Structure 1
Amino acid sequence: MPITALDQNELRASLLSRLSGLRAPAGVHGTVSHGTDSGVRVFGYCVQERERIARSRMEHPAVVVVLSGTKEIWHGDVAQAFPAGVPFVIPAGMNFDMVNIPDPASGRYESICITVDDVLRQALRSNLRHLPVTGRIPDRLDVELSPALVEAYGHAASALSGIGVVAVAETLARYRVLEVLLLVAVTPVAGVLMAVGRREQVEAIIYADPSHPWQVGEVAAELGIGASTLRRQLAGAGASFREVLLSVRMRAAGALLGSSGYSVMQAAQAAGYASRSHFSRRVQAVHGKTPRQLKAAV
């Protein structure tokens, strides 16, 4: 049965209750860590005055829940507002203006943020083989709550509050946070969790189908931007579209040749090469071995 608006309100209230143990103590302002850089990257943030953060750019995607007040995220002239108890995703590699608005009753704005860093993204890829890889930003960044997601947040909050108490707490917290992200990863915002900068977004799109004769305009359309804009952004990252395309195809070639299920010609075709000789020269230049040598190493 579909979840109604009333159900969502009840789930929001339940989520806020389950996360209450992660609220910052009275009088504490700014960022509060609930994890470690080597383990889970979960942070709280609390202010008592309305603040605007212009042109904020995230290095990694983040999953956020406002605990008190409201957050507005502006991308150009378009704004989305997220009240307390609504999980949402902030994409990486894009400039946003953010406004944190304290709750009128408590006078506090407070949120909890899960940073989806390289370790967590790899864990997501390992657990969900069919996770969407497009870097297209969805129209809405909020995540519809479900009883399972509320329960997962509750488990994560309990584990995070136990870090430093028992030796296994950090490992448990990492798994509990991953449980939250796995549930978020099956919602429409899934692709945002996996794509970081423009280069990684482009790589993800190409890697999903390396045999396709990709043109810069096609990839730009997937990202919702123009071809010239994409070229400029890739140049700012020190790469051209052709360089990224070749790099991804060679990564795919290495993986295919490392599988006993592909012949050299099948690997060449799957990586987007019609000419076996051209494929062989490129593989040797990149991997330092011929395709047959790579196959022999399997």
Structure 2
Amino acid sequence: MTIYEPTQEALRGELLQRLAKLSAPSSAKGSVPHGVDSGVNVFGYCVNARERFARSRLPHPAVVVVLSGTKEVWRGDVAQRFPRGVPFAIPAGLEIDLVNIPDPQSGRYESICITVDAPLRQSLRASLNGLPDGPSIPGSFGIALSADLVEAYGHAASALAAPEAATAEAVARHRIVEILLLLSGTHVGRMFVAVDRAEQLEAIVYADPSYAWRVEEVAGMLGMGASTLRRHLKQAGTSFRQVCLSARMATAGSLLSAPGYSVTQAAQAAGYASRSHFARQVRAAHGVAPGRLRSVA
């Protein structure tokens, strides 16, 4: 029996259909609240002209779906571009530039955003019995759609679009938590359960493990000085170097265990220009040489 597996394009189309009920009136501009509950903030954002928010830093992680137009997320001179129907996540504390580009035909940009505060992230972590696995696609905030994720979005949109029901807000929160639990199994899931400073640092490094992160830079992103961040990390029994190394080795192990990545590509993705240095670190972290880890996979 052949089981039909919808393509990402088909899933994006279905997701946009499910979220259409949350589209704001054409006259709406700026932030449009769709529901606020303990730990969860859901809102739409609409604009009719291209705009750029420089050096933005989110206090809580967010997952976004563009309904019309395109979103660009810039860190330095590197951009990730997200068209309509492609979910993506942004970690808390990461300093980025955001560009909203209206659709050339309608002249409108619109998106739906979910943000998650620290207590809810702790609750999600407890549900998962710890941290999710490391990333499978480093450096990307994009999220691959599944039928279950589209269904969860559809349920949440239906609840948020029916505010007259007495239980709508509680049901909507339940449906949104369902979305977050499904996302926890993706490569961006770690940013949604990062609570303490060590985990927030880890989520930032996971977002771009090839980048040469500096403690002063990350501390600034998290709104503190370098010495304060070092103190938090020491209290957590780790250090800046150890967290960065752990994230990079998890990235390396994930890529070397997956088809389609060479040792050189894995080294570059994990931030290593020297293949011999990369090999030493992989052997120390995983117990085997990179080529051996790849052949075992």
TM-score (norm 1): 0.68
Offset from partner CA, 1:3-37 (integer Å, 9 cap, x none): 98x71111000000000011111201100001125
* Structure 2 residue runs without a partner (length 5+): 238-297
* Structure 1 residue runs without a partner (length 5+): 206-220, 250-298
Instruction: Determine which of 225, 228, 236 is the counterpart of 1:239.
Output: 228
* Alignment match, 2:174: 175
- Say which SS state the counterpart of residue 16 (structure 1) adopts: helix
Distance, in Å, in 1 between the alignment partners of 2:37 and 2:132 is 27
Instruction: Determine which of 210, 214, 221 is the counterpart of 1:226.
Output: 214
Q: Which amino acid aligns with 1:178?
A: V
Distance, in Å, in 1 between the alignment partners of 2:4 and 2:55 is 35
* Alignment match, 2:107: 107
Alignment pair present for 1:31 and 2:31: yes
Distance, in Å, in 2 between the alignment partners of 1:228 and 1:166 is 49
Distance, in Å, in 1 between the alignment partners of 2:203 and 2:74 is 26
* Alignment match, 2:116: 116
Q: Which amino acid aligns with 1:162?
A: A
* Alignment match, 1:269: none
- CA shift, 1:248, in A, is 3.0
Whether contact under 8 Å (1:56, 1:96) holds in the other structure is yes
Distance, in Å, in 2 between the alignment partners of 1:230 and 1:82 is 25
Offset from partner CA, 1:11-64 (integer Å, 9 cap, x none): 000000000011111201100001125463101000010111111110001000
Measured at CA, do residues 9 and 230 of structure 1 come closer, stay the same or move farther in structure 2, by a change above 3 Å?
closer
- Say which SS state the counterpart of residue 19 (structure 1) adopts: helix
* Alignment match, 1:94: 94
- CA shift, 1:182, in A, is 0.8
Q: Which amino acid aligns with 1:239?
A: T
What are the equivalent positions in structure 2 for 1:1-298 lying under 5 Å apart?
7-38=7-38, 40-132=40-132, 138-163=138-163, 165-195=164-194, 200-202=199-201, 225-227=213-215, 229=217, 236=225, 239-241=228-230, 243-245=231-233, 247-248=235-236
Whether contact under 8 Å (1:11, 1:146) holds in the other structure is yes
- Say which SS state the counterpart of residue 107 (structure 2) adopts: coil
Identity %: 55
Offset from partner CA, 1:248-269 (integer Å, 9 cap, x none): 35xxxxxxxxxxxxxxxxxxxx
Larger Rg over CA atoms: 1
Across the aligned residues of Structure 1 and Structure 2, the Cα RMSD in angstroms comes to 3.4
Whether contact under 8 Å (2:92, 2:200) holds in the other structure is no
- Say which SS state the counterpart of residue 25 (structure 1) adopts: coil
Q: Which amino acid aligns with 2:113?
A: C
Distance, in Å, in 1 between the alignment partners of 2:213 and 2:67 is 34
Distance, in Å, in 1 between the alignment partners of 2:53 and 2:200 is 25
Whether contact under 8 Å (1:71, 1:98) holds in the other structure is yes
- CA shift, 1:202, in A, is 4.7
TM-score (norm 2): 0.68
Whether contact under 8 Å (2:197, 2:233) holds in the other structure is no
Whether contact under 8 Å (2:40, 2:117) holds in the other structure is no
Measured at CA, do residues 203 and 150 of structure 1 come closer, stay the same or move farther in structure 2, by a change above 3 Å?
closer
* Alignment match, 2:260: none
Whether contact under 8 Å (2:71, 2:99) holds in the other structure is yes
